[in-house]
């Protein structure tokens, strides 16, 4: 039990000296990568730079205690930072203590929600965020973040919570571009793009291994930061209007519980929920991907608790919402992290940096941080997904496109809410019109197929309808209409058979519809039968009055149903010879079974 | 085309003199039943009595033109009247011209929405109202209406939009009970209950036919009204404080378009939508039930247009929202209505009553009208449905109970909204954890069954998972977790086969999950295969990159899949003898087919 909630007890028991050395090396690499990211994402969230560092200490230690992934690296990430900025910006102005308080409160609420969801096993809530919605949302967030960082890159003030606001502010203030800032920003951008695109081949040619080359490209931002900080310091660019990070308070954050503020917390409930779910979805996806490479196990509910603990840790140490980041987790993994201890050591690295290195960050230009963000988030933008989704599924495309458009036009919250609502709506719409086929007997077999597609035998007195979907409220009335329509058009019908092999469930609405159909058919002198009802569905039907009221019978197979209604026709059709040698050959070798083929050729 | 939108062109062409006489007789009977109902439901909606009569003219004529049901009788009904009172009461005080204006605007908006839904074929929106929700809502509405009429029955003032408000107002004012009013009210109640329960057997004993007896019991309210009106007039009870209908303006309503009022209409949008959908659901259910008895066809989309037209008619003639009523439609049907013309003639009957009979209604006591409402709505209350639903399905019970509780405690709108949201949520929750079985080969056959329930043969290197649900976003991540969990626990596994006979669809989220599963398994040295994929699902998969990336293959049958991976085991297992004579007997007589049995015995 304790092991379930504290995975550290499992891996900690096997911890060896070799693992320790390994984890320490990994931690050093990830620390170098994480420092600029932490500063940059704090900037993106509209917070002082040290808040980013604070959010990269306690959360990592807590995740190491509670997380089931061996290699997930948590900390501030781009999308959650954007969402934090949107939510905190909605309740107070950037730069005020209230704004910082709101960010901390978001981490606290998010932590509480995640832990609650983990303990109550509510992880399925994340399922409501369909892939097209999350993908569209991340693409739109990436575009918006990149657009928002163009201002800092050029040294132009441009704020806004959606793309039109950002772009119009940018356009208005473009005349105020600071040449030095722009030079640093554009040069950093160019360098970072080059690192991302072309550094690895260069390093490989210099004889570095695949992994080392990969990891070295990930410390590109640190190099850009070192170079531009030196340039600002050397050429005295801060006096020429280049925005710099300035004084970053030295020392570790003080631990304190954020003050209770009912009104503020109520306002932040929805954003905190959205941040929690988006963060969880991204995090679990990274964790599963990395775990699979080593056949390790990820416990989704425990991951909720671990992420919740990490956010609580961020909240009590003056940080802001954190989650598992993709790039840093991959670096962690590829550098060879074997246990979550690597994360804890990374936290120590960040703590050391906070204690001793912050003076070095004084001349760090904001433009460089902004450039690192732009380069990082552009990898989130996947407009190709729109095309792929379009060709695969129009409803999914609609949900994705709506999410992108609304996120960009109105903001992150509206985008997510509209996307989720639309995908649920379209899902219900699709299931509200299930595929129903009129089926007839394939001559010479006991099989029944769609009359519209196959040469089959039917009895004018018997209407056999195969419903290719579970029966539940979104399609219950559809079935009533369909039967009414079918029977009204067939005056000779005396029996209706619902063929149910694809019906995985019948809910109370569908049961009511079946009862209504049964009574209506009875009034019209028609008997209703069921065939091929699955076991669990039958068990449940037995708990209702339906079977007692049913005018017809429930048959194990459709052939049984037809045989009992019109035995002569069923047998005659079965007797018709046809090419059926494979089906009736002795069972000694592999053969095509019609039984499964029938399902495979769902018509 | 024109016939589709004007069903009158179809039945009108065959209209004969015999049908005319028949429809005229029916209209006379329904008119007698409809007058007290119209007055009572106007009272229930908090409107002047003549508004009820107005709502029983134009709508009937318009429904006769556009409706596809031959026997549906539209007009004011209890639940829509309650919802009208709630919505109009939220924007203005009862008795004011604004209140009447709001009721008329509700009819107009409801009419526009229904016509729009009909033209755009959005009838499926009604599906979102699951049966437990509508059933719970109607039960709660019935309880609330009955409680609300106790005041008028006793001559006590008691208003409120939910049960606690109503009951506390009733309790507070119970001391002001008017003895004469209470005497009339209670006597009417007793008489009407007696009519409903015991009049029919008495009439049958007097030699009346089944139908005539049925119909005569339906005019009970008219008798109560005649008797109590006479009593109030004869004994001068109006001067003793008995509330009477008073002056009902004589003459037909003037036709006029309700004035445009953006602010008001915006406020009424949600209530109008709810009234439309609840009305439509009830109406279509009555229409289908009656049509089935004569094997007639109901076009759901055209019904939306017809009900919309009826509500537009109500709006331009000073009425309030109408829909198809159950009791009056049954009377219409049983009295022998053959065409919608009977409805149009009923409208003429109501018009004549409005022109000439309203002075007779002067002394009609409100208590009698209230008593007719109580007796009518108590038949809507079906608390037994709670028990039936509990034993059939807990989630459906939860949705029903929540709808009842919230409707009674907070009001009709909140009740419906909570019920719909909860039923959608529970539906998604249920589908988020589909049944997945590990399957193995049944010795001596090509069939595969759940290893947990059957004595089957499995290969430790092959993990065959049968998913008994379509794959879409609510369960996409569940599948990822399930595969991760299964593989992490089976270190020998080299092949995972997803057996998909029950998968009716794979949406973009599930496709993404399958791609992720494929890549993750690949990283772990495992190949992913699919088997028994349905045709339409396969067609769609071919439009994606998934099949190109799939490490394994897609097999027509699970036996094929196993044969290609481990041919020896598959054949050996197939060769194991077992009792399989029925399956391999020559196809001359009825036999149990294993093919269908396998599906029927869904394990």
Q: Where are the alpha helices (DSSP H) in A155-255?
A: 163-173, 179-194, 200-205, 210-218, 220-235
Q: Where are the alpha helices (DSSP H) in B294-411?
A: 300-316, 326-334, 341-356, 366-378, 384-392, 394-410
B64-78 pLDDT tens trace: 999 989 889 999 999
Task: Determine how β-strand B527-531 pairs with β-strand B495-499.
Answer: parallel
From A376's Cα to the closest Cα of chain B, the distance in A is: 22
Which of these, B430, B496, B532, B329, lies nearest to A504 by C-alpha position? B430
Tell me the two tokens of residue A46: 């509209």
A254-277 pLDDT tens trace: 888 888 888 999 999 999 999 999
Neighboring chain A residues of B558 at a CB cutoff of 8 Å: 596
Query: Which H or E element spans position B566?
Result: none
pLDDT for position B594: 38
User: Taking the CA of residue B429 as centre, how many other CA atoms within 13 Å lie in the half-sphere pointing to its CB?
Assistant: 14
> For residue A435, is pLDDT > 50?
yes
Q: For residue B246, what are the CA distances in angstroms to A2, B45, B362?
A: 77, 17, 4
Neighboring chain A residues of B600 at a CB cutoff of 8 Å: 501, 532-535, 556-557
> For residue B17, is pLDDT > 60?
yes
B93 CB within 8 Å of a chain A CB: no
What are residue B543's phi and psi, to 5 degrees?
-85, 0
By CA distance, what is A594's nearest residue in B?
A: B595
For residues A531 and A561, the answer to whether their CB atoms sit within 8 Å is: yes
ipTM tops 0.90: no
Query: Could you give the 3-state DSSP secondary structure of residue B428?
Result: helix
Burial environment of residue A239 by CB neighbours within 10 A (0 to 12, 13 to 18, 19 or more) = exposed
A295 CB within 8 Å of a chain B CB: yes
Task: Determine how β-strand A448-450 pairs with β-strand B436-441.
Answer: unpaired
**pTM higher than the cut 0.80:** no
From B392's Cα to the closest Cα of chain A, the distance in A is: 6
Which of these, B477, B464, B392, lies nearest to B434 by C-alpha position? B477
Which of these, A367, A351, A377, lies nearest to A153 by C-alpha position? A367
Residues paired with residue B127 on neighbouring β-strands, in sequence order:
none
pLDDT for position A296: 79
Residue where the block lists tokens 């009656």 = B290
Across A420-432, average pLDDT: 87
Residues paired with residue B439 on neighbouring β-strands, in sequence order:
B450
Q: What pLDDT band is residue B577 in, cutting at 50, 70 and 90?
A: low
> For residue B191, is pLDDT > 90?
yes
d(CA B65, CA B61): 7
From B435's Cα to the closest Cα of chain A, the distance in A is: 9
B129-140 pLDDT tens trace: 888 998 899 899
Across A175-185, average pLDDT: 90
Nearest by CB to A477, from B127, B295, B560: name it: B127
A562-598 pLDDT tens trace: 888 888 877 788 777 644 433 333 333 333 333 333 3
For residues A41 and A373, the answer to whether their CB atoms sit within 8 Å is: yes
Tell me the two tokens of residue B219: 């005019």
Average pLDDT over chain B reads 86
Q: What pLDDT band is residue B300 in, cutting at 50, 70 and 90?
A: confident
Burial environment of residue A506 by CB neighbours within 10 A (0 to 12, 13 to 18, 19 or more) = buried
By CA distance, what is B135's nearest residue in A?
A: A509
pLDDT for position B457: 87
Which of these, B52, B25, B47, B171, lies nearest to B99 by C-alpha position? B47
For residues B362 and B244, the answer to whether their CB atoms sit within 8 Å is: yes
> For residue A339, is pLDDT > 70?
yes
Across B446-461, average pLDDT: 85
What share of chain A in percent tops pLDDT 70? 95
A551 CB within 8 Å of a chain B CB: no
End-to-end CA separation in angstroms for chain B: 49
Q: For residue A390, what are the CA distances in angstroms to B290, B472, B543?
A: 44, 16, 10
Q: Kindly state the greatest CA–CA separation across chain B.
A: 101
Nearest by CB to A501, from B473, B487, B599: name it: B599
Burial environment of residue A568 by CB neighbours within 10 A (0 to 12, 13 to 18, 19 or more) = exposed
Tell me the two tokens of residue A401: 């496109």
> For residue A51, is pLDDT > 90?
yes
Least confident of A131-140, B205-214, B361-370: B205-214
Across A385-412, average pLDDT: 92
Tell which wins on pLDDT, B353 or B592.
B353
For residues A566 and A462, the answer to whether their CB atoms sit within 8 Å is: yes
d(CA B109, CA B114): 8
CB spacing of B292 vs A476 below 8 angstroms = no
Average pLDDT over chain A reads 86
CB spacing of B131 vs A513 below 8 angstroms = yes
Within chain A, how many helices (H) and strands (E) appear? 29, 8
| DSSP type of residue A244 | B
A454 CB within 8 Å of a chain B CB: no
d(CA A376, CA B446): 52
Among B residues 353-412, those touching chain A with beta carbons less than 8 Å apart? 388-389, 391-393, 395-397, 400
Residue where the block lists tokens 């399958």 = B514
Tell me the two tokens of residue B101: 């204006």
pLDDT for position B587: 35
Across B37-58, average pLDDT: 93
For residues A8 and A329, the answer to whether their CB atoms sit within 8 Å is: no
CB spacing of A393 vs B508 below 8 angstroms = yes
pLDDT for position B601: 39
For residues A261 and A98, the answer to whether their CB atoms sit within 8 Å is: no
> For residue A282, is pLDDT > 50?
yes
> For residue B596, is pLDDT > 70?
no
d(CA A319, CA B580): 69
Nearest by CB to A473, from B127, B429, B488: name it: B127
């Amino acid at each position: 039990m304790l092991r379930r909630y504290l995975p550290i007890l499992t891996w900690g028991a096997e911890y060896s000296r070799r693992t320790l050395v390994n984890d320490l090396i990994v931690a050093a690499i990830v620390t170098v990568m994480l420092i600029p990211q932490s500063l940059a994402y704090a900037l993106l969230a509209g917070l002082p730079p040290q808040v980013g560092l604070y959010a990269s200490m306690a959360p990592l230690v807590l995740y190491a205690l509670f997380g089931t992934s061996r290699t997930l690296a948590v900390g501030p990430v781009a999308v959650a930072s954007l969402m934090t900025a949107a939510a905190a910006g909605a309740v107070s102005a950037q730069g005020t203590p209230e704004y910082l308080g709101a960010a901390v409160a978001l981490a606290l609420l998010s932590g509480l929600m995640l832990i609650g969801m983990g303990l109550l096993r509510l992880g399925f809530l994340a399922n409501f965020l369909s892939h097209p919605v999350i993908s569209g949302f991340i693409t739109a967030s990436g575009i918006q973040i990149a657009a928002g960082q163009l201002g800092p890159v050029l040294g132009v003030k441009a704020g806004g919570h959606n793309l039109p606001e950002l772009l119009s502010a940018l356009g208005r203030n473009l005349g105020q571009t600071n040449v030095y800032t722009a030079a640093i920003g554009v040069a950093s951008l160019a360098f970072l793009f080059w690192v991302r695109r072309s550094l690895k081949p260069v390093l490989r040619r210099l004889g570095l291994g695949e992994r080392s080359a990969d990891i070295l490209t990930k410390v590109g931002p640190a190099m850009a930061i070192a170079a531009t900080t030196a340039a600002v310091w050397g050429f005295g660019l801060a006096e020429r209007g280049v925005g710099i990070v300035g004084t970053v308070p030295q020392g570790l954050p003080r631990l304190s519980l954020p003050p209770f503020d009912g009104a503020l917390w109520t306002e932040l409930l929805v954003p905190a929920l959205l941040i929690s779910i988006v963060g969880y979805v991204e995090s679990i996806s990274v964790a599963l991907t990395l775990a699979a490479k080593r056949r390790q196990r990820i416990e989704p509910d425990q991951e909720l608790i671990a992420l919740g603990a990490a956010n609580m840790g961020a909240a009590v140490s003056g940080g802001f919402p954190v989650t598992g980041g993709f790039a840093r987790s991959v670096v962690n993994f590829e550098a060879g992290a074997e246990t979550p201890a690597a994360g804890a050591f990374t936290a120590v690295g960040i703590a050391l940096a906070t204690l001793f290195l912050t003076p070095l960050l004084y001349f760090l230009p904001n433009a460089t941080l902004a450039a690192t963000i732009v380069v990082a988030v552009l990898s989130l933008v996947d407009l190709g997904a729109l095309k792929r989704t379009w060709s695969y599924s129009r409803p999914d495309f609609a949900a994705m496109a709506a999410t992108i458009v609304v996120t960009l036009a109105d903001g992150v919250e509206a985008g997510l809410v509209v996307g989720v609502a639309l995908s649920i709506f379209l899902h219900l719409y699709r299931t509200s019109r299930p595929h129903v086929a009129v089926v007839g007997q394939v001559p010479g077999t006991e099989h029944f197929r769609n009359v519209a597609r196959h040469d089959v035998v039917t009895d004018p007195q018997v209407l056999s309808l195969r419903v290719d979907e579970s029966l539940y409220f979104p399609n219950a009335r559809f079935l009533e209409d369909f039967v009414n329509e079918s029977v009204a058009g067939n005056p000779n019908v005396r029996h209706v058979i619902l063929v149910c092999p694809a019906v995985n469930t019948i809910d109370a609405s569908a049961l009511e519809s079946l009862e209504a159909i049964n009574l209506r058919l009875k009034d019209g002198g028609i008997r209703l039968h069921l065939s091929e009802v699955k076991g669990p569905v039958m068990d449940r039907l037995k708990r209702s009055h339906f079977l007692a009221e049913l005018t017809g019978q429930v048959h194990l197979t459709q052939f049984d149903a037809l045989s009992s209604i019109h035995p002569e026709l069923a047998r005659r059709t079965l007797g018709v010879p046809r090419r059926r040698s494979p089906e009736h050959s002795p069972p000694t070798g592999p053969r095509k079974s019609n039984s499964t083929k029938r399902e495979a050729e769902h018509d």
